[in-house]
Amino acid sequence: MFLSVFEMFKVGIGPSSSHTMGPMVAAGRFLDLLRAAPFAAEGLRAHLYGSLAFTGVGHATDRAVILGLAGFLPESYEAEAAEAALAANRDSGRLEPPGLPPMAFDPRSDLRFDFGPALPGHANGMVLEALDAQGDVILAETYYSVGGGFVLTADELARGADKAKGAPVPYPFKSAAEMLEMAQASGRSIAGMKRENELTRHGPAELDRGTRRIWQVMRDCIDRGLAHDGTLPGGLGVKRRAKGIHDALLAERGRNLSAPHVVNDWISVYAMAVNEENAAGGQVVTAPTNGAAGVVPAVIRYWLDHVPGATERKVEDFLLTAAAIGGLVKYNASISGAEAGCQAEVGSASAMAAAGLCAVLGGTPEQIENAAEIALEHHLGMTCDPVKGLVQVPCIERNGLGAIKAVSAASLALRGDGTHFVPLDACIETMRQTGADMSEKYKETALGGLAVNVPNC
């Protein structure tokens, strides 16, 4: 089983990897189908199902579909060009993707939200159609946005493409137990094994450049979030808080009477800065999702800025270790809030961050596995209940608390020798079972929990 560090950490846009990035990627794939088709389509239509329908407007899914069908992709997204394309579509009722003729697309009639049952493959399903001049469907494809920006067609999902092993790698662990066995047999760290696996797909220079870019985008996102205030879009009137908190923390620096627990405010503010940027539709890195994008960068920033001896040379080890843990969670359970609740998003992110921090602090593979297990275990059962379908409440603060739990989990694991009662594999399987048993109204539909118990307009 191999999931690249560049699959777990993808540069994209907010507010959601599954509801914004995924639909945009799916639309791009559909355009590729049209470019290869022997006929010219006259129009386009999109149907959104399940969670994509229920929280699509709050997650900007409608906007993402339009832009995706206009030829935009998350990794190359340009905000000004996107706004121009949306305005042109409003004026003309047409889209003009590169390499294709103009096609009719009126969002009022051609972008349809189906609030009935979800499609059978996943809670995040969508069907894209190409139409002829009479409005008849001449090409259609079903896509599933399975979390973290990963997209599969219905056929790919049925064939198990999400579980595909790919070409052989030196350390093909698909469970934490196998990971520890291979680490013991090889004498390598988890990051070392993950690096060897990555080198079967990327050259050393490419791997180095790629991981440095991931951290640079993460760091820039934190800095933007700490520099901007104002009100987040979406109608809830949620005010950005990261800048104010950060300014206060800077003003208090150096005071002898600061309480030790104030370090938690530093950890939280880094995470909140990222998720406020995400909520505003800014550039973020899936880690492993947009909704949980603040946890990993917050813990890295905390380590670099507050822990003696930290160095950016080890950031790659942090990311590789975190990606190894995230890959195990995705392969054996889920990183999708629409599939398993927020335990699969912030819980997975916290486990990844705990493992990464434990690694760069000198933890053994056994201690790293313990750190990940502690962090994930104490997110089990967490629901995904975004108010008004927006990735704001409770998501922004939840990232801060997920980062704090990650630091605590790494610290606790380092106090032991790696032996512990609950294996990470058992915790991941418990998360999968809990997600399967969880009511649909608590899985990113905004039909339960906080979403219905606080004013949202």
Local confidence band at 435 (pLDDT 50, 70, 90 cut-offs) = very high
Q: 3-state class of 213 per DSSP?
A: helix
d(CA 137, CA 409): 53
**pLDDT tens digit string along 345-369?**
999 999 999 999 999 999 999 999 9
d(CA 173, CA 181): 9
Phi, psi of 99 (to 5 degrees): 80, 10
Predicted confidence at residue 86, as pLDDT, reads 97
d(CA 281, CA 12): 10
Predicted confidence at residue 414, as pLDDT, reads 98
User: What kind and span of H or E run contains 125?
Assistant: strand 124-131
Percent with pLDDT over 70 in the chain: 99
Using the predicted structure, report yes or no on whether residue 165 has a pLDDT greater than 80: no
Dump the DSSP string for 376-443: HHTTTT--B--GGG-S-TTHHHHHHHHHHHHHHHHHHHHTS-S--SS-HHHHHHHHHHHHHHS-GGGB
**Nearest in space to 17 (alpha carbons), one of 324, 330, 319:** 330
Q: What is the mean pLDDT of the chain?
A: 96
Using the predicted structure, report yes or no on whether residue 457 has a pLDDT greater than 80: no
Predicted confidence at residue 31, as pLDDT, reads 98
**pLDDT tens digit string along 233-275?**
999 999 999 999 999 999 998 777 789 999 999 999 999 999 9
User: What kind and span of H or E run contains 62?
Assistant: helix 61-69
Percent with pLDDT over 90 in the chain: 95
List the Cα angle 121/122/125 in 5-degree steps.
95
Structure tokens belonging to residue 112: 């349809």
What average pLDDT score do residues 222-230 get? 98
Neighbouring C-beta atoms of residue 206, cutoff 10 Å: 13
DSSP 163: G
d(CA 164, CA 195): 20
**pLDDT tens digit string along 3-54?**
999 999 999 999 999 999 999 999 999 999 999 999 999 999 999 999 999 9
Predicted confidence at residue 46, as pLDDT, reads 98
Structure tokens belonging to residue 225: 């979030």
**Nearest in space to 328 (alpha carbons), one of 444, 218, 171:** 171
List the Cα angle 331/333/338 in 5-degree steps.
115
Predicted confidence at residue 254, as pLDDT, reads 78
Compute CA distances 6 → 215, 270, 275, 319, 383, whole Å. Answer: 12, 22, 20, 10, 27
For the chain, what's the residue count?
457
- Label the pairing between strands 137-147 and 150-153: antiparallel
Predicted confidence at residue 162, as pLDDT, reads 73
Local confidence band at 167 (pLDDT 50, 70, 90 cut-offs) = confident
Phi, psi of 95 (to 5 degrees): -125, 145
Using the predicted structure, report yes or no on whether residue 164 has a pLDDT greater than 80: no
Give the CA-trace dihedral at 445, 447, 448, 450, to 10 degrees: 80
Dump the DSSP string for 94-110: EE--TTS--EE--HHHH
Using the predicted structure, report yes or no on whether residue 1 has a pLDDT greater than 70: no
Using the predicted structure, report yes or no on whether residue 453 has a pLDDT greater than 90: yes
**Nearest in space to 400 (alpha carbons), one of 248, 295, 310:** 295
d(CA 290, CA 61): 13
Residue 50: alpha-carbon gap to chain centroid = 19
